[in-house]
Structure 1
């Protein structure tokens, strides 16, 4: 038994051991192109069967090859995570369970075909890399079990755990506690060194920025970015679209005017700062985005990539109005975008946040349920979601997935770099203002 496994996967170790191997490429024509010393399918099966017993579970992390060889593996349970060369229909008769995409089997173990990056709180066991020369991210533990890399021998998961492979991996729960402790210690020891008053004198708060723009400019920009959709008119058959637009305009203008005159409060002990950074993640075009950081966390951070950005739709409007606005050139050049983003966030649950309490209670309930029962989390593949909603199956070109992944990865790297540069400029500015 492996007690740390999530409940749905404990059965894999009930009667024996769990063995993992990837990229068998059994009888694939291009094996020799990947490794000129690639052994025959029969030799591979013989090696696997010399290690695995009948009561064991065998997990293949993708790129199986010819399915008929799998039936010869003597394990009692066979699990497959589909690789980039696999089609599910080809293996339904020879594997007991088939999964698409990465799979967390415990809070510290992530199985996947291709390596996964950026998760410092888990061990990623994967394949795909046949040369074992990929520069794996230092903040994530990796174990490459591509068949030709590990001598075509399946690896015993339980033995790896007993030998301490997870000892250096801090779970996400542990990291959360450590970060909270570090923040608390910094606030007590160092926050007084940050002269927030000096920063506040030089930076405008978001309420002052809102006051700088005339209401027509704000309204036009807001509804361009967040237009009224037709489904909002479904229950209003007794008025025209023009009447509805005038009604919405009146409510929006009253909302903005109320914010302009609202008394600001800040009971959190934190000073938030809104800033603009260049972004390219989902769109095909280079854009800008608006982020919110806390001054103390920015000043305490040695690695700026670890500075958290916060959503604030659950923050009361009076408190959100205390946010400062960065005086960096990029932010100042896009002040109206900052205003539009802010208005959308603080009206997420209604112009007067009339639905805030109910949604906040629901959020806390969901978080508690996830923390107490992580095994109940359900993931869906793209095909499963399309089937669930009755959508046609998406056509995928042969190399589309890898190229799409490269596109998104490049976008994320670009965005993280640009964000880090803006944070660096902001931190240096605050250091000067605080005289540190």
Structure 2
């Protein structure tokens, strides 16, 4: 398996930026001053993204005890089959098998994530550009250099601490949020419930299937 950094180095940079990233996450023209033209905004965004990718391709890897593996699997989206990305860890696969969970990584240093790996699974490789697009986005949530990550991490810790101290109501009445909705009949309720269950089973089956392939490739006995 290639590392995340090796995967970034192996793909077509222009295709990744223009064919995938800016399609999924287009320029936000409201972020620019009124005197900046659309052409200038697009050129600046292109420059920033190329600089960002240059950073990801060349940043020294920070070794860690965790061995993350990114992969893609199938989900239902808007009533149709689609794909999403997942992150698991070798340690969890050894311990929990296909029960291993998915993880967020937006608070993880770029230098550590770049040393993790990309699964060789067929679906993952077929949708490699989609996966790298999501990794690019997640690793830039707090800035292209993650310069805002420490401050945001402190805010999160403070919010959690305040939440622990706060008195939270044991009962939350959600009826006010749906008072304008037209009630479904019993059959609609049943069909909606069945659709939700089916969508969850579909994605969970695919996730487990992909994890099984990863484990087989690593020589980890499947449970």
TM-score of the aligned structures, taking structure 2 as reference length: 0.88
Q: Aligned residue for 2:88?
A: 293
1:226 counterpart = 2:21: no
Q: Aligned residue for 1:47?
A: none
State how 1:68-217 maps to structure 2 within 5 Å: 203-217=1-15
User: In structure 1, which of residues 399, 421, 425 is the aligned counterpart of residue 213 of structure 2?
Assistant: 425
Whether the 8 Å CA contact 1:279–1:289 is kept in 2: the answer is: yes
Distance in 2 between residues matched to 1:284 and 1:230, nearest whole Å: 31
Distance in 2 between residues matched to 1:240 and 1:377, nearest whole Å: 52
Q: Kindly report the root-mean-square deviation, in angstroms, between the aligned alpha carbons of the 2 structures.
A: 2.3
Whether the 8 Å CA contact 2:88–2:103 is kept in 1: the answer is: yes
> Cα deviation per residue 1:112-138 (whole Å; 9 max; x = unaligned)?
xxxxxxxxxxxxxxxxxxxxxxxxxxx
Go from structure 1 to structure 2 and tell me whether the alpha carbon gap of 1:356 and 1:331 turns closer, same or farther (over 3 Å shift).
same
TM-aligned CA deviation for residue 404 of structure 1: 2.5
Go from structure 1 to structure 2 and tell me whether the alpha carbon gap of 1:243 and 1:204 turns closer, same or farther (over 3 Å shift).
same
Go from structure 1 to structure 2 and tell me whether the alpha carbon gap of 1:257 and 1:379 turns closer, same or farther (over 3 Å shift).
farther
Q: Aligned residue for 2:113?
A: 320
Secondary structure at the residue paired with 1:273?
strand
TM-aligned CA deviation for residue 351 of structure 1: 1.2
1:271 counterpart = 2:67: yes
Secondary structure at the residue paired with 1:301?
helix
State how 1:10-89 maps to structure 2 within 5 Å: none
User: In structure 2, which of residues 52, 59, 64 is the aligned counterpart of residue 255 of structure 1?
Assistant: 52
Distance in 2 between residues matched to 1:225 and 1:377, nearest whole Å: 39
Distance in 1 between residues matched to 2:87 and 2:54, nearest whole Å: 23
State how 1:264-413 maps to structure 2 within 5 Å: 264-267=61-64, 269-280=65-76, 282-302=77-97, 304-305=98-99, 307-373=100-166, 375=168, 379=172, 381=174, 383-384=176-177, 393-399=180-186, 400-413=188-201
TM-aligned CA deviation for residue 401 of structure 1: 3.9
Whether the 8 Å CA contact 2:8–2:132 is kept in 1: the answer is: yes
Secondary structure at the residue paired with 1:412?
helix
Give the number of the structure whose residues are more often helix, by fraction.
2
> Cα deviation per residue 1:373-416 (whole Å; 9 max; x = unaligned)?
462588562743x78xxxxx333443444433322221111111
Q: Aligned residue for 1:63?
A: none
Gaps of 5+ in 1: 1-202, 388-392
Whether the 8 Å CA contact 1:370–1:377 is kept in 2: the answer is: no
TM-aligned CA deviation for residue 230 of structure 1: 5.0
TM-aligned CA deviation for residue 252 of structure 1: 0.9
Distance in 2 between residues matched to 1:405 and 1:348, nearest whole Å: 34
TM-aligned CA deviation for residue 217 of structure 1: 0.5
Higher relative contact order (CA 8 A, sep 6+): 2
Whether the 8 Å CA contact 1:206–1:325 is kept in 2: the answer is: yes
TM-aligned CA deviation for residue 365 of structure 1: 2.1
Aligned length: 219
Distance in 1 between residues matched to 2:43 and 2:173, nearest whole Å: 42
Query: Which of structures 1 and 2 has the bigger CA Rg?
Result: 1
Whether the 8 Å CA contact 2:29–2:38 is kept in 1: the answer is: no
Distance in 2 between residues matched to 1:377 and 1:425, nearest whole Å: 43
Whether the 8 Å CA contact 2:16–2:129 is kept in 1: the answer is: yes
Q: Aligned residue for 1:64?
A: none
